[in-house]
Amino acid sequence: MKIGFDNDKYLKMQSEHIRERIGQFGNKLYLEFGGKLFDDYHASRVLPGFEPDSKLRMLMQLSDQAEIVIVISANDIDKNKVRGDLGITYDEDVLRLMDEFSSRGLYVGSVCITQYSGQESADLFKKRLEKLGIRVYKLYLIPGYPSNTSFIVSDEGYGKNDYIETTRPLVVITAPGPGSGKMATCLSQLYHEYKRGVKAGYAKFETFPIWNLPLKHPVNLAYEAATADLNDVNMIDPFHLEAYGKTTVNYNRDVEVFPVVQAMFEKIMGSCPYKSPTDMGVNMAGNCIVDDEVCQEASRQEIIRRYYKSMNALVSGSGTENEVRKIELLLQQAHAEITDRRVVPAALEKEKATNGPAAAMELPDGKIVCGKTSDLLGASAALLLNALKELAGIDHELHVISPDAIHPIQQLKTKYLGSKNPRLHIDEILIALSMSATTSDAARLALEQIPNLRGCQAHTSVMLSDVDVISFRKLGVELTCEAKKEQKKNYQKD
């Protein structure tokens, strides 16, 4: 993989910049962490060289100063909101995040439930955490938020919220996903700190959009594609332009809410320390791009992937026409076409040649292999076997799994487990391959190639079942699918 981003430089610059911001506010800073604190695969895809856990590693350099507060919205608990990349609910992700942070030597001080208005599910979650010995605080739903600043910055507004007890100079406010109430938590804390005579500060760490890249740079366009469901729009920061005469990039929600945030700062602190939304940020990612062309091309590929994801969501009923149209526009602005994703035409040509669902994968050396549907295997399982054979240097005519080993699994599925589809899925073929590896050198060699699939690109000519989608995700394969169901199925599980 070509590298476009200097990760070591980023870790050094970012931690130093945050230390400077802590010192600016008398040694107490509330830092809102936007995006994913780790598992940031979007950033690693559009900035090749960026490690998915870079932000976490950067924070580990500040571990002696940092305390983490995990924020979750009571509404998200109530709706059982799910993280699309991991397939787990936000409340479960809070526990996962705590374990991950603690295992890295980072101190998690507490959990904060925001937008609370008496939700029973939130109360149950609070009790569950408290039984685990975790401190839990509540921030209430404030009428007129965020426009009614006089009420918000008062004893009836922020003053009604719990005060989160913290002990370290850097308090990192993070959450399972967007809309969790991170900024409101930070500002509520500032209100309580100032009432206690502590002159704390606030800053925002948001990786995207990258403020010192052009507005229509593919990296920033890829961020818009990633947040198309939220309808985020990148824009020139008008406050920064007016204050400094410099053009920087921010996004609509921060720009729209800045006058309100400014007014809140003035009420809390007497004056606002920032002249623009860009001023509030501490992101150094734009300074660590070492090959702009590599990042531009990676971002175009990301926009194409997002397009397919939005089309699949539209067909399955979870997406909208507006989301698709927005990403189509972003494709045009990035000068990208779906055929730029090399596995797309390869999969479609294979489907045409075999008259059945097909799949294609681009291997690390750029070679493309394909898979077709057969009586024994689905196209995805066939693709996986062909990719592993190619990586291991095994003749494609050689069976690494005997058909006699596949038939009993098919019988188990159809006769005993009630499946109507006898073809093996990816997870089933991997089990069969691992069993064959005990007696077959070829199977063992193929199995050893699994780590080399991570980061490979794949495309299928039909939408896949959940089990195959999840399997590709576990293997680290970047998957896209044509927005059509196999055999016009309305319900696709097997």
pLDDT value at 163 more than 80: yes
pLDDT in tens, 314-356: 999 989 999 999 999 999 999 999 999 999 999 999 999 999 9
pLDDT in tens, 422-471: 888 999 999 999 989 989 999 999 999 999 999 999 999 999 999 999 99
pLDDT in tens, 288-306: 999 999 999 999 999 999 9
Q: Which pLDDT does position 23 carry in this prediction?
A: 87
Q: Which pLDDT does position 29 carry in this prediction?
A: 93
Share of the chain above pLDDT 90, in %: 77
Q: Report yes or no: 483 and 463 within 8 Å, Cβ to Cβ.
A: yes
pLDDT in tens, 382-424: 999 999 999 999 999 998 998 778 888 888 888 888 888 888 8
Share of the chain above pLDDT 70, in %: 98
Q: What is the mean pLDDT of residues 12-30?
A: 89
Q: Which pLDDT does position 229 carry in this prediction?
A: 86
Q: Is the peptide bond before 169 cis (omega within 30 degrees of 0)?
A: no
- pLDDT confidence of 144, banded at 50, 70, 90? confident
- pLDDT confidence of 494, banded at 50, 70, 90? low
From CA 332, how far away is CA 448, in angstroms rounded? Answer: 41
Q: Which pLDDT does position 192 carry in this prediction?
A: 95
Q: Which pLDDT does position 491 carry in this prediction?
A: 45
Per-residue buried b or exposed e for 245-254, using 16+ beta carbons within 10 Å of the residue's own CB: eeebbbbebb
Phi and psi torsions of 209, nearest 5°:
-70, 155
Q: Report yes or no: 66 and 24 within 8 Å, Cβ to Cβ.
A: no
From CA 11, how far away is CA 266, in angstroms rounded? Answer: 33
473: exposed, middle or buried (Cβ count in 10 Å: 0-12, 13-18, 19+): middle
Q: Which pLDDT does position 489 carry in this prediction?
A: 55
pLDDT in tens, 30-40: 999 887 777 78
Q: Report yes or no: 462 and 372 within 8 Å, Cβ to Cβ.
A: no
Instruction: Name every residue whose Cβ is closer than 8 Å to that of residue 202 and which is 6 or more positions away in sequence.
Output: 25, 29, 30, 31, 32, 186, 187, 190, 265, 280
Handedness of CA 243, 244, 246, 250 (dihedral sign): negative
Domain architecture of the chain: domains with CATH: 7-212+240-287 (3.10.630.10), 342-488 (3.40.140.40)
pTM value is 0.89
In this structure, the strands spanning 170-174 and 201-205 are unpaired
From CA 228, how far away is CA 325, in angstroms rounded? Answer: 10
Q: Which pLDDT does position 189 carry in this prediction?
A: 96
pLDDT value at 493 more than 80: no
Tokens of 41: 């695969």
Q: Report yes or no: 89 and 79 within 8 Å, Cβ to Cβ.
A: no
Phi and psi torsions of 30, nearest 5°:
-95, 115
Q: Which pLDDT does position 315 carry in this prediction?
A: 95
